[in-house]
Chains A and B, each alone.
Chain A
């Protein structure tokens, strides 16, 4: 499997504009690109082909009745190599097996917590195994472990 290189492409799916703006800036501070911000599933579906996201940060509660789980299923089909991380205040709504997603960053997050999670994700995506210890702000799924161990 070919490894992505820095800077990574991020897709942000979040219905709260201030929070998505904050996340966007933190991701850019970490040296990565935000290719799109979507507030609901239909906006993700409407994204043009072109740049594929390496990482999708997905809120659970989204606009127009769609959920992070809907987006999770869609992203897995359209961009099978993307790492999907839920960013939610509602981690209880995530199924036990994460529905194939790779982990969760619980809200409310701190600047440090968020940045260390992004740093860790970058190490896993670009150059596994990661040198940093998994940060407390990021909970990984089994799918993520498989991703991390993949040759």
Chain B
């Protein structure tokens, strides 16, 4: 029984006087708030509270001794934290926890509580020893940081949402513009076709057809670009094959076969329209001049890509060579020579008895870079 009395005895001593237990004197004098409670008494009351603890809580020793620690709890103390402490005490375990406590004057402080049982040599719990530390500043800082983090996250989320909305608006706009371009091109085609029906002069009508062909070629470029998932690349070989099919169909030369040997041959979109028009001129010239109606013919399209060089070759097995006019005359020829400079493409024509071949060498991405070809 007398350990308790020893405590009271020790309690009554003044450490300055150098008497009593030096450990007890140290506990009494330290700046770390500390208490001891006795679980063997009813309601585990405080049996010792050092000066630092009294200073921290504002309670005097007389107000503390004999009371359970719960007198520090208050309105906003987390019941879960209280529960964890209660469980640790019941199970005789250590617990370290930050808990909101209240001083005698009602002000709150964050208490970094460390509680552990003190056992005797038989393992029986004699006391609980608890140290406290006012960590209000630290918890406040944490709260502030957490609050700041939340604020920034909200801000980031808001801006991300803004950006998403802007991207959606851009997509909608792009879609709308694409739609308008396509509708207008359809309308231009319709107007020209309707006009063509009123023209009797075969020469004029041929010129108008060539014009429609050029507009169709541009429309095909646009359609192929915007139907693909990637509007940054344009496969000139696949385009040439597509256009050749359309042109042969339109010419009524059902006996012209189109042979293709295509590998991926991507040019940049800045080059797409110019190259599309060039390919259109080459193909229409070849369909118009190379073949005799009713005879079988063949157009061969080969496309290759090597690093930044795309090679496109369009060859026919017709009679164009014998006429010696492989390079198209008139506007067609002008379109080819002017646009090939713009599109960074060089064209070599080769003619022999077995037909005419145009070899295009295109430097991908080169716009207005190629030297003049005359």
Contact = CB atoms under 8 A, between A and B. Distances in A.
B232 interface: no
A91 B187 CA distance: 17
Nearest to B185: A108
Contacts of B137: none
The binding surface of chain B is classed by DSSP as helix
B216 interface: yes
Contact of A107 (B183, B245, B250): B183
B187 A111 contact: no
Given A22-B191, A107-B183, A113-B246, 4 more contacts: A25-B194, A89-B182, A110-B250, A112-B246
A90 B194 contact: no
A18 B179 contact: no
B301 to A, nearest CB: 14
Interface in B227-261: 227, 242, 245-247, 249-250
B212 to A, nearest CB: 7
B197 interface: yes
A109 B186 CA distance: 7
Interface residues of B, number: 26
B185 A18 contact: no
A35 to B, nearest CB: 20
Interface string A2-29: 0000000000000010110111011000
Contacts of B179: 89-90
B186 A19 contact: yes
Interface string B152-187: 000000000000000000000001000100110111
B216 A16 contact: no
Given A21-B194, A106-B227, A89 B250 contact: no
B216 A18 contact: no
B223 interface: yes
Interface centre among A92, A106, A113, A115 (most CB of B within 10 A): A113
5 contacts: A16-B183, A19-B186, A22-B190, A108-B186, A137-B246
A137 B224 CA distance: 11
Contact of B216 (A106, A111, A135): A111
Interface in A92-151: 92, 106-113, 115-116, 135-137
Contacts of B247: 112
B222 interface: yes
A115 B182 contact: no
Interface centre among A108, A111, A112, A116 (most CB of B within 10 A): A108
B193 interface: yes
Interface in A3-59: 16, 18-19, 21-23, 25-26
Interface of B: 175, 179, 182-183, 185-187, 189-191, 193-194, 197, 212, 216, 219-220, 222-223, 227, 242, 245-247, 249-250
A112 B287 CA distance: 14
Contact of A116 (B183, B187, B222, B249): B249
Contacts, number: 77
B182 A107 contact: yes
Nearest to A107: B186
Contacts of A92: 175
Contacts of A112: 216, 246-247, 249-250
Given A22-B190, A136-B245, A108 B250 contact: no
A133 B216 CA distance: 21
Contact of B186 (A21, A26, A89, A116): A89
Nearest to A22: B190
Contact of A108 (B191, B223, B245): B223
Interface string A69-86: 000000000000000000
Interface centre among B191, B247, B249 (most CB of A within 10 A): B249
B250 A19 contact: no
A92 B174 CA distance: 13
A137 to B, nearest CB: 7
Given A16-B183, A89-B183, A108-B185, A25 B193 contact: yes
Given A18-B190, A25-B197, A115-B250, A110 B183 contact: no
A21 B189 CA distance: 12
A91 B227 contact: yes
A35 B185 CA distance: 26
Contacts of B212: 111
B222 A136 contact: no
Contact of B246 (A23, A90, A107, A110): A110
A89 to B, nearest CB: 4
Given A110-B189, A116-B249, A22 B194 contact: yes
Contacts of B189: 22, 108-111
B179 to A, nearest CB: 5
A12 to B, nearest CB: 12
A89 B242 CA distance: 18
Nearest to A23: B190
